[in-house]
Chain A
Amino acid sequence: MHVSEIASGDIPPLSGYSEDQLDKAFAAISGEVEASSAALSTPEAIEAFRLQWLGRKQGRLKAISDAWLKSAPAEARKLIGQRFNTLKAEIEQRLEHASSSHGAAGLDAEALASKRIDVTLPGARRQLGAEHPVIRTQNELLAIFARMGYSVSIGPEVETDYYNFESLNFPPGHPARDTQDTLVIAGQDRKPLRDRLLMRTHTSPVQMRTMEQHPPPLRIVIPGKVHRNDAADATHSPMFHQLEGLCVDTNITFADLKGTLDHAMKELYGSSVRTRFFPSFFPFTEPSADVQISCPFCGGSGCRKCKHSGWIELLGCGMVDPSVFEFARLKQPAYDPKKISGFAFGMGIDRIAMMKYGITDISLMFSGDLRFLEQFA
């Protein structure tokens, strides 16, 4: 056996290549590693340790490799290589341990403090677009009625006089037509009255259109845009949105209408809300009713929003007038008012949205003013 002639740095030459001798030599180095890793308490010390052992040019591991591995006879290389790798793993493990325990123990609070950020500065927000308050309210209402078994039905915004008025029991020349000032399409004068085109004044025509298509039982809600020839003010717009409902089956009663709307309003405004019904008049329902809900803002004790009455009028409704069924029956014989009955209701989506969000001017909703719309983001 001969000893390596090339001793590198302060790496002692190997005394021999037996496993015993190798173990002893590596154990000595391992002891050295342990000793030099005892004080790894600062990032600087850790870095020094890393350089001391793993440095690519002056690291001791490199020196060991040069001194012991490279000059070893081929048959010993495997044995040395194994021990070398174990040593390297040990050094890396110690380094890793030192770095992580250094962090977890917060050993250098000062260093951490130097990285302080101002958490009160605004977040980097990636802004979503804002949902329109009318659409948002409409979706909420549709979801409530969907849970009660109501499908959605829609219809055209430009209607014929027949669907908007006549089939809903507004006969030609009837004073009830005065309550819904109508925007009409040009060039209709020569047509028979029932074929004349107009902007629908309510979503109710879709009741008739749906009944003509589908026999009872029927449960539908109809959201949509409607227009009236009304002067605009804070609470009126020539364009607004309605949600209409229709339920037809055998034995549908006024009590069912009351229960349905009471339930829907409780879903919308919370279970403590109460409803009360007042006689009203709509040509296409009989009996007809206006519905008030106890003010959801003050609980009924009176506030600005309910004009100190404790109640807010929110919808119109009634039992479907038999003459409306007679019109539906022209296309669907099953709508025999002697055998079936039904109720219908309608509400202003814009009005509900205004109430919900405290909007005092309806025209803001149709202006596109971002200062307003952004508040719904």
Chain B
Amino acid sequence: MKILTSWLREYVPGIQASDRELADNLTLRGIAVEGVFDLGPDGSLFEMDITTNRVDAMNHYGIAREAAIVYNLELVPLSASCNELSSRAEAERSEAAVEGPAVSAFPVSIEEPTLCGRFTARVLRDVKIQPSTGIVAERFGLLEQKLISNAVDATNYCTLAIGQPTHVFDLDKLEGGIIVRRARRGEKLRTLDGIERTLDPEDLVVADEKKPLGIAGVMGGWDSMITADTRNVLVEAAWFDPTTVRRSSKRHLLHTDASHRFERGADFNAPPVASALVSRILLEAGGHQIGALTDVIIPEVQARTVKRSPIIFSLGEVRRILGPTEDPEGITASTAETILSGLGCTLAKNGHTSPHPAGSAPSLDPSRAVIIESVHSPTSDPQSYNVTLPSWRLDLEREIDLVEEIARVYGYNRFRNTLPAFAGSVVELPHAEKEATVRRTLLALGWTEAISSTFCAAADAALFSSQPNSAVPMGNPLSEEAGMLRPSLLPGMLSMLLLNLNRDVENAALFEMGTVFSGSPERVDEKPALAIGATGNPFTEAEVTFYDLKGTLEELLGKFSSRSLYFDNLQLPSWLHPARSARAALDGASVAWFGQLHPAEAERRKLKQTVWIGEAYLDRLYKHKLRQPVICELSRFQPVQRDFSLLFPNWTSWGSIEERLRSLELAELRSFKPQEILREGKAIPAGHFSLLLRVVFQLQDRTLRDDELQQFSQAIVAAMESIGGKLRT
């Protein structure tokens, strides 16, 4: 929102501060000036960012009121009259005149009294529709606001000035008096933006006896708009129910200046003032008012807005919530009184029968006179007040709202910085250490952490779901490619690998730890998962293989305690290469699948290189405790190493060799490993491979004897022969 300082200063004469100082002082009080632009002799233009709760400050007069509080100055009162009558008299008259349906010159009937709390109508005849001149044209020029015609500009000017939306009708297009009612089913209205809309029975409309004229508080209708030929005008200024306006605005995707203000709660007392302001501007070009202002007030709504019950406010609560200030005196009764009355509140000290005059002269807007009531407070706090709230601050409802106002106006930065005492302990999340271990292990093994999108395409969701039809669709997805909650981290991993390959980054080893989702619209389950993905030669000069992934998983899973960890290639998911992939099982439960991405998938995704991926279910892994190291006594006796050069048929797996060796149950067999495997070479018969098996024997309590070693060796050779092995000679 843009604000002209020259306009502000007209409402609060006597501000000595420069525009920049004014900007800083407003910002410190939550009326944020985001930018100050010098307009030379015309002062400055402020670019404002007003928080959504402060609709009262979304106009020049509202910000002027804040400036008046800052500098403790008087606000210039606004006139509610077209004929230079005293504004107070006019306000009083309008209030006294009408209770319930009005008897007035122009007929107005409110059929939905809870949704339209006040409606004013003023008839102006023989007006001249022409381009705006004078101060309106000047200010619109500075604000870069589009000029339309004096009538429309007058309503926009009014919104900019005091924040009250108004509307002008071509009176001659109206058939009968104004009726504020709900739209009828199927009723149509062409709005000012030229779009024909089908109204909803929930919409509130301003209508004449025959047809709807506009969506209340949102936008007027095309057919009754002001044209160059308009001679007679009806000026509308009303108060509409915030929720109703908001719903209509959302329903018709029509966010307007008017709806923005009404849905945040307009000032119930403003319509007569706004009507007068619009009329004065329009009458400058000619014409005259016919009859009195029609002003229909619904007392029940008035009771909820202007005549709200006072709230109890105590200085004790201010101290309890806000704490100590830099100034040792703190927030005194007189400080609080000055601030609250400056905001337009009326204070009655607890127990007093007459309102307590505020500490300093309140900068009240007389046209928006607040009702002063004597109240009897139930509390006995000597520093407690009954506070009557201003009509333009519907956001103030509770004691805490006033505490905030005190802090805001007093200045947040005038409170001390203290640290609260604490008698408790810091508790770690149950899986924090496990999660940290997984991350630390992968980083140490050379995998780089990445974060990818929470969403994926429907096809990927189907491919990577662990159960069919368990992926959860989004109601308003960001894009088609992000239509589903990811059931797996792998779609993200594959797009990250693809991105790298497409940028000529050919060596990559990435991991991601994140949430995966499954379920239905009724219930969504979230689980922690881990994805790894590698391509090229990210670790060494050699190209990454299955065994790099397996080694990583062995290292990682080995950090957790278990009775067994094994790998097999049963029940492989369809996204994996059927012959170059595996499942890892911890104590019999599947915890990870990994291997080469299925070549068909790789081709479909246009991956230029072989890609290795894997996914681990961290929720299953976290069920295991972290492995606690247990020390094994170091033997003082020499280990003995023996190598066996063996030939095996190709179908023999290392797993079966390992199993056979373990079945020997030789306590002296400390360790064994495949030292070298050759699949081809001279002296390797077709259909065979050669294995150099390295074993280490050792005892805790003595040196092994030659005859024992010989015996073990024979046992090993015999075992290998029993599964098809042959000692090479």
Contacts and interface: CB of A to CB of B under 8 A. Distances in A.
B404 interface: yes
A355 interface: no
Nearest to A279: B30
Contact of B505 (A178, A263, A371): A371
A251 interface: yes
A151 B427 contact: yes
A357 interface: no
Interface in B415-444: 415-420, 422-429, 432, 439, 442-444
A367 B432 CA distance: 26
Chain A binding site: helix, strand, loop or mixed by DSSP?
Answer: mixed
Contacts of A185: 472-475, 485, 521, 524
A259 B325 CA distance: 12
A256 B418 contact: yes
Interface string B397-412: 0101101100110001
A127 B422 contact: no
A112 B320 CA distance: 79
A217 interface: yes
Given A173-B247, A322-B398, A225 B515 contact: yes
Residue among B412, B477, B515, B520 with the most chain A CB within 10 A?
B412
Contact of B428 (A152, A183, A247, A341): A152
Contacts of A377: 448
A188 interface: yes
Nearest to A187: B521
Contacts of B517: 157-158
B496 interface: yes
Interface string A128-168: 11111011000000000010111111101110000000000
B229 to A, nearest CB: 38
B510 A368 contact: yes
Contacts, number: 233
A278 B28 contact: yes
Residue among A127, A199, A319, A368 having the largest count of chain B Cβ atoms under 10 Å: A368
A219 interface: yes
Interface stretch (B49-57, B338-346, B620-628): B49-57
B418 A277 contact: no
Nearest to A255: B323
A258 interface: yes
Given A369-B503, A374-B448, A253 B323 contact: yes
Contacts of A130: 443, 448-449
Contacts of A258: 412, 415-418
A286 B417 CA distance: 18
A319 B475 CA distance: 34
A303 interface: no
B321 A319 contact: yes
Nearest to B509: A129
Contacts of A371: 503, 505
B443 A129 contact: yes
A234 interface: no
B515 A287 contact: no
Contacts of B664: none
A277 B412 contact: yes
A66 to B, nearest CB: 32
A258 B323 CA distance: 10
Interface in A352-375: 365-371, 373-374
Contacts of B496: 367-369
A157 B526 contact: yes
A254 B321 contact: yes
Question: Interface residues of B toward A: which range?
Answer: 35 or more
A239 B408 CA distance: 33
Contacts of B526: 156-158
Interface string B308-335: 0000000000001111110000000000
B452 A368 contact: yes
Nearest to A291: B412
B27 interface: yes
A277 B412 CA distance: 6
A34 B9 CA distance: 110
Interface in A163-182: 173, 175-176, 178-179
Interface in B435-464: 439, 442-454
Question: Which of A129, A131, A217, A256 has the largest count of B CB atoms less than 10 A from its CB?
Answer: A129
A157 B455 CA distance: 12
A244 interface: no
Interface string B479-502: 000000100000011011101100
Given A185-B472, A249-B420, A369 B499 contact: yes
A281 interface: yes
A100 interface: no
Given A154-B429, A157-B515, A371-B505, A276 B443 contact: no
A373 B454 CA distance: 19
Contact of A253 (B54, B320, B521): B320
Interface string B237-271: 00000010011000000000000000110000000
A253 B474 contact: no
A175 B263 contact: yes
Nearest to B505: A370
Contacts of B454: 157, 199, 225, 227, 239
Interface size for chain A: under 10, 10 to 19, 20 to 34, or 35 or more residues? 35 or more
A373 B418 CA distance: 39
B413 interface: yes
Most buried by A among B416, B420, B475, B477: B420
A183 B453 contact: no
B681 to A, nearest CB: 30
A89 interface: no
Nearest to B264: A175
Contacts of A173: 243, 246-247
Contacts of B282: none
A178 B260 CA distance: 11
B417 A127 contact: no
B478 interface: yes
Interface string A315-327: 0000101100000
B29 interface: yes
B594 interface: no
A152 B499 contact: no
Contacts of B322: 253-255, 287
B400 A238 contact: no
A277 B415 CA distance: 10
Nearest to A151: B427
Contacts of A278: 27-28, 30, 32, 412
Interface in B504-546: 505, 508-511, 514-515, 517, 520-521, 524, 526
Interface of B: 27-30, 32, 51-54, 243, 246-247, 263-264, 320-325, 398, 400-401, 403-404, 407-408, 412-413, 415-420, 422-429, 432, 439, 442-454, 472-478, 485, 492-493, 495-497, 499-500, 503, 505, 508-511, 514-515, 517, 520-521, 524, 526
22 contacts: A128-B444, A130-B443, A152-B429, A158-B485, A178-B52, A183-B478, A185-B474, A186-B472, A197-B521, A229-B476, A254-B321, A254-B322, A254-B407, A255-B416, A256-B420, A259-B420, A278-B412, A279-B408, A286-B404, A341-B321, A369-B496, A369-B505
Given A130-B449, A217-B423, A258-B417, 11 more contacts: A129-B447, A175-B263, A185-B472, A259-B419, A260-B419, A276-B413, A286-B401, A365-B451, A368-B451, A368-B500, A373-B448
